[in-house]
Structure 1
Amino acid sequence: MDITLLIFWLFAGVSILYVVHFALYLVGANFYDVWQQRRKAMGGVLRLPSLSEPECAVTAVSSRSDLPEVPGLVSVVIAAHNEEAVIVRTLDSVRRSTYPYYEVLVADDASTDLTGQIVLDYQMHHPDMDLRIVRMPENVGKGGALNEALRQYARGQFVMTLDADSIIEPDAMSNALTYFDDPYVAGVAANVQILEEPTALGILQRFEHMIGYRSKKLYSMLNCEFVVGGVASTYRMSVLRKVDFYDTDTLTEDIGLSAKITNLGNRRFRMIYGADVVAKTEGVLTFRALAKQRYRWKFGSIQNLIKYRRLVLNPSRRYTGTLTYYRMPMALLSEVTLLLSPLALTYAVYWSLATQTAGLVIGAYATITAYTLLTVWMDENLTRRERARLSVYAPTAYFLFYIMDLVQLTAALRCIANAHGLFKRPEINTWKSPERAARVEVSSGA
């Protein structure tokens, strides 16, 4: 076969695949929005349609801990390592919560700055807040620090985890708990937004998060979500005990936890996206930090895909077909198509020059811009001012995403170069927090 023809069909196939994906995301998100409106109209009690009847309710799982579990109590666990610049802002946001029954555990992973002292001072100045600090004598990694706090001190029926640079909206906790009215929901992914940063890098990260999290609406409707981030994710404590909390052998302990729960059987242990569980977090401040972050995310994601590869094309009735025959294969395929993206771009430029038409480039630009605008206009959590400003930025998204593609491609190549670590995973992964901007302040209320 002629190499040019082969490249053409490869390019066409990848392009069609992504166009179909965009269409599915749009339709699925609309169905999710309708379901969300109906759920709120019924007071938060409306289950997503199940593809089959689960074996039993999630609440029937066994517990491995002797700690008394307090019904209705939420254990908010904050992982922190050298977070003196932002930890107060996070604690302030929790204090503003409209849900009153919570405890706060700060898992201080051997910080060498003033993080521990700041938390103790905060505890002294706010005695009405059930706040404790759990200190690690040495850096055990984010997952290890969270495990220590959860296993030894958490008493809640539910657990919400936060990063020390994140902020939750006042109703985030109460909104998250409404999803657990469905006994088959094991975990709820929050709607994580990037704090406003009027730079090209800040705008890029904000658009990326908005588009990525909108896709979770489709995955929730199809019951095939298995990726839950660490910011404001909420779980049943009984489920965490069943899976023995976080694993510490991958770089993305949050994805590892949600994948481990999904591995139990997603017909029975369901992951849901909560669009009204709004949390905000800082984006990285430099392209160097972005490259480092995305390498960590991609390396950890691939580690977990390999670790739970049995979920791909698994015919077991414990799993939905949408998970094993669609979501998991597409997660693997997306990594392959990323490696082919330079070839596709080169071919698009070649085709445009050979045919003396910019049709391919204009079509791709129009598609991405239109989809970005639709994502902005249909986001239920934006103010009119934010929606107008982001609409002005939307025409630049096509070019900004090329920057992200380059960062992701570089991360993928680094993963290949360090492929031995994808299979032979260390028992503990330590961590280091990135530079924080800490420009946004949150009122602490009373």
Structure 2
Amino acid sequence: MSSQANFLIKITVYAISYIVTIGIIISTFYLHGVENHSFPLLRIVTMSFASILLLKYFVYMLLSPWHDVWVRLRARINNIKNNPYYPRVSVIIPAWNEEVGLLETIKTLLNSTYKNLEIVVINDGSTDRSDKMFRDFIEEYSRIHRDEYERINIVYHYKKNGGKGAALNTGINLADGEIIVSIDADCVVLPQTISNFVQYFRDPKVMAAVGNVKIGNTDTLVGVVQYLEFLFSFYFKKADSLANVIYIIGGAAGAFRREVFDKIGFYSTDNITEDIELSVRIQDAGLKIVYASDAIVYTEGATEVGSLMKQRLRWKRGRFETFNSYKHMFFSFRGRHSKLLTWLILPLALFGEAQLFMELFFLIFLYAYSFMINDFSSFISGIIVVSSMFAVQIFFDDKKDKKLSFYLLAPIGWILFYLSSFVEYNALVKSIWGYYRNEEIKWQKWQRNGITSNV
């Protein structure tokens, strides 16, 4: 689809969203509610589900800013102590048919301010031109930087296709770093990202850290929806980090002490979301995971709804498989487990899926009931809450060159939230059906356009 068509779609959706939002707000001044006591049980259930969700978001909004205070305090303490910490870092990049974005990812890593670094690229049996392109790049890089003392070493290995987990494991075996960082092959890594990752490992208790992943392509409506979704979820990781309840380290930006793999093993080659499985296994072992909010990585999001649905289907199915494998963690009394994680966060995750499954029915009821009684106050409340959360997070976003268009999204964020929910609902239904039928899901790809270091 052309850039002009994408622009027209975005403008049209924005315009319709604003019309709907303004219409609902204006209606509250002209419509007078009609008392109606029909469907009492359904009304109670609907409001209960909504209240639990809003309470969760409210608590997260209160806790998340304190993570920034903790990060600044930690940095100040490190500056006072002035203890040198410069461990060897190995960045592992699994790649399968990534001719579009791989070289750009490598180039951004070569611009890293952290120089005690090696880059390990594992080509997982690609059938495109990426193998030749990367061999030519390495040859040129070695020739130009042959005599440089602080040259960043690049290790390249081409293997038979075996999946992302197997590719990552090959990279770990080839790496010599004390800290292992996994980065996807379609990412842009900021110069300070690796250095910022390393600072969290000054704490000997920290065994893993999840980076701050942002969507780099927001020229399409699908990209904008993903941008807001990532902004939302990663902002809330600040609260998860303070409470030590992070259980997902995405493959786009994760860092680990090497000893983690010595203690609990490597990535799973059976689970379709090897990153989620490893993250839960780390929590199962009682090891500490933190959120590195200043370790920023931009990734290329899906550009079409169909591609986004396939991605979310894999994520949803993989999380279900992981929860099934680690069901002993739910309501666990084991001393090594975080009780907040096992008694609240994990059960809430399943509750959220149940809520998502019922959301379509609740929304239909809520809309119909609101029209019956001419009262849209519940929608006004939802609009205010969701829009406020979007506005706060966009304001505190780390991106320095924020565009005005992002601020204009706040009043209609609730509608874009529903678009995201539609994708998640589709993934949920298909993952349940696929799990029941034991259907296999493989490492999926979509058409890449690439993102640049100018994001």
TM bracket, shorter-chain basis: 0.7 to 0.9
- For the structure 1 residues 430 and 141, does the alpha-carbon distance in structure 2 shift closer, same or farther, using more than 3 Å as the test? farther
Residue of structure 2 equivalent to 1:402: 418
- Is this contact kept in 2: 1:45–1:178, CA < 8 A? no
1:438 maps to a residue whose letter is G
Identify which of 108, 112, 115 aligns with 1:97.
112
SS at the partner of 2:402? helix
- Determine if the alignment matches structure 1 residue 255 to structure 2 residue 255: no
CA distance in 2, matches of 1:180, 1:274: 10
CA distance in 2, matches of 1:115, 1:256: 28
* Alignment size in residue pairs: 407
- Which of 164, 177, 184 is matched with 2:205 structurally? 184
Match of residue 61 from structure 1: none
Residues 439 and 77 of structure 1, relative CA distance in 2, 3 Å threshold = closer
For 1:19 and 1:197, how far apart are their aligned partners in 2? 27
Task: Give the equivalent residue in structure 1 for 2:87.
Answer: 72
2:399 paired residue number: 382
Question: Do the aligned residues in 2 keep the contact of 1:105 with 1:133 (CA within 8 Å)?
Answer: yes
Where do residues 208-247 of structure 1 align in structure 2 (5 Å cutoff)? 208-247=229-268
C-alpha change, 1:14 and 1:45, in structure 2 (3 Å) is farther
For 1:416 and 1:432, how far apart are their aligned partners in 2? 18
Aligned counterpart for 2:288 among listed residues 270, 279, 282 = 270
Alpha-carbon deviation of 1:432? 3.6
Residues in 1 aligned to 2:48 and 2:177: alpha-carbon distance in whole angstroms: 49
Asked which structure has the greater CA Rg, the reply is 2
Quote the RMSD (CA, aligned, Å): 1.9
| Equivalent position of 1:411 in the other structure | 427
CA distance in 2, matches of 1:149, 1:199: 34
Letter in 2 for 1:220: S
Query: How far is 1:110 from its partner?
Result: 0.3
Match status 1:17 vs 2:52: yes
Q: Distance in 1 between matches of 2:325 and 2:44?
A: 32
Measure the CA separation in 1 of the matches of 2:356 and 2:183.
Answer: 30
Which one-letter code corresponds to 1:160 in the other structure? V
* Residue 433 (structure 1) aligns with: 445
Inter-partner Cα distance in structure 1 for 2:342 and 2:162: 33
Indicate if the aligned counterparts of 2:122 and 2:159 stay in contact, CA closer than 8 A. Answer: yes
Matches within 5 A, 1:54-133: 72-127=87-142, 128-133=151-156
Structure-1 separation of matches of 2:220 and 2:384 = 23
SS of the residue 2:158 aligns to? strand
1:136 maps to which of 159, 162, 165: 159
Equivalent residue letter for 1:350: A
Q: Deviations over 1:217-244 (max 9, x none)?
A: 1111111111110112000011112221
Q: Deviations over 1:38-77 (max 9, x none)?
A: 112223799xxxxxxxxxxxxxxxxxxxxxxxx8111110
Ranges of 4+ aligned residues in structure 1 off by more than 4 Å: none
Residue identity opposite 1:307 in structure 2: S
Out of 209, 222, 225, the residue aligned to residue 204 of structure 1 is 225
Mapped partners of 1:311, 1:44: distance in 2: 38
Distance 1:316 1:277 in 2: 32
Higher helix share: 2
CA contact (8 A) 1:140 1:430 kept: no
Aligned to 2:63: 28
How many angstroms does 1:441 deviate by? 4.5
CA separation in 2, counterparts of 1:176 and 1:218? 18
Q: TM-score, normalising length from structure 2?
A: 0.86
Cα distance between partner residues in 2 of 1:75 and 1:129: 10
Q: SS at 1:156's partner residue?
A: coil
- Once residues 159 and 320 of structure 1 are traced to their aligned partners in structure 2, the CA distance between those partners, rounded to angstroms, is 25
The equivalent residue for 1:172 is: 193
Equivalent residue, structure 1, for 2:384: 366
Instruction: Specify the SS of the correspondent of 1:85.
Output: coil
Any unmatched runs of 5+ in structure 2? Answer: 1-36, 143-150
Structure 1 unaligned blocks of 5 or more: 47-70
Match of 2:318 in 1: 300
Distance 1:44 1:240, change over 3 A: farther
Distance 1:386 1:441 in 2: 16
